[in-house]
Amino acid sequence: MVFSLFSSKNRIINLVLNDHSIRYVELKQSNPPAAQKWGERFLTPGIIEDGKIVDIDSLTNILEECVDDWKIHRRSIRFIVPDQLVIIRKVNVPAEIQDDELMGYLYLELGSTIHLPFEEPVFDFYPLGDNGKTKELLLFAAPEQNVMEYSHLFSSVKLKPVAADISPLSLYRLYHKLELAEENETLFTIQFALTSVNLSIFEGAVPVVMRPFALPFNIEKWDIKRDHFGLAKCKYTGDTNELAGQFGDIFREISKLIDYYRYTLNHENHDITKFLLTGDHPMLQAIEDDLKERFGLPVGRITLAMNSTEKMENIPDQLLLPLGLALKEVK
């Protein structure tokens, strides 16, 4: 649906990079979704910051090691465009613009009637409606320079980028595949990661608003080990009041976004019906409890069983996003 920059391939590796990790999943089957292979490499601060590559040499070396360790040389990949780079915005265009002319029209209007906080974007759109005078579109955009920097990085380590996506859509794809979506729901998704939080609101299957926020992260206050899945297991060793303060800030941002949706975007016609909480933060259960207490709304989680060491366990939260990415364009 979004950022369809390249043609699709089979047996695609699904890669997610953020400020603190590189993760991949290879899909075994799509119904129910199951991971055949996966891996994770923890990143020290200063290599990627706010979704932007800061230390390209270190990142290239680390990714080369990952490609070797995971044995994914010359494989086609999908990747997630970091949340901090993505803008979602509703725009209106004249109704007489034909569907096959919309992309060209948007290119012409960028910078004149359509303003974005960056030049030369890569973008896609989703039609929302047509009232006879105007067509309403949902525009997804990111700076082309940053997106292509990731693409060139992958190519430099002998990977073949074939598609890009955004994280809320990938997670919703998994949520929908598992038949968790409810009729007429307005879903508020919260991706609570170790170094960032991404808030999105879905009307049906369409994300109409998205807000990313950075979380302060001092690696010296975290104990980081590997679990039996080979994934990072993080435990906070600092003052828990600091974390409580971070969570409080995010809860206030959630409240602001609910009000913005209710009174600005939606003219009080709809309200949030449910939260969906995901992410790799080790305190998700405490966050879920606080959400329920503060907002009085149901909080959904994605749980998916896998067979590990001859017993059933839930797929780790770190793998849900790349697993949702793996469902992109799966027929």
Note the Cα 88 to chain centre separation in Å: 13
Please report, to the nearest 10 degrees, the dihedral formed by the alpha carbons of residues 239, 194, 282, 178 taken in order: 160
Residue 330 pLDDT more than 60?
no
pLDDT in tens, 78-126: 999 999 999 999 999 999 999 999 999 999 998 888 889 988 999 999 9
Mean pLDDT, range 241-266, rounded to an integer: 93
Pick the more confident residue, 265 or 182: 182
| Rounded Cα gap, residues 327 and 331, in angstroms | 9
- What contacts 281, CB < 8 A, 6 or more positions away? 192, 193, 194, 287
Tokens of 269: 């016609």
pLDDT in tens, 281-327: 999 999 999 999 999 999 999 998 765 544 556 889 999 999 999 99
| Rounded Cα gap, residues 38 and 24, in angstroms | 5
**Predicted TM-score (pTM) of this structure:** 0.92
pLDDT in tens, 144-190: 999 999 999 999 999 999 999 999 999 999 999 999 999 989 999 99
Say what the pLDDT of residue 307 is.
57
Percent of the chain with pLDDT over 90: 81
- At CA 254, angle to CA 126 and CA 79, rounded to 5? 45
- What contacts 68, CB < 8 A, 6 or more positions away? none
Range with lowest mean pLDDT among 21-25, 164-168, 269-273 = 269-273
Say what the pLDDT of residue 121 is.
93
Structural domain spans, the chain: 13-326
**Which alpha helices (H) appear in 110-188, and where do they start and end?**
144-156, 167-177
Q: Sorting pLDDT into bands at 50, 70 and 90, what band is 11?
A: confident
Domain 13-326 maps to which CATH number in 3.40.50.150, 3.30.420.40, 3.40.50.720, 3.40.50.300? 3.30.420.40
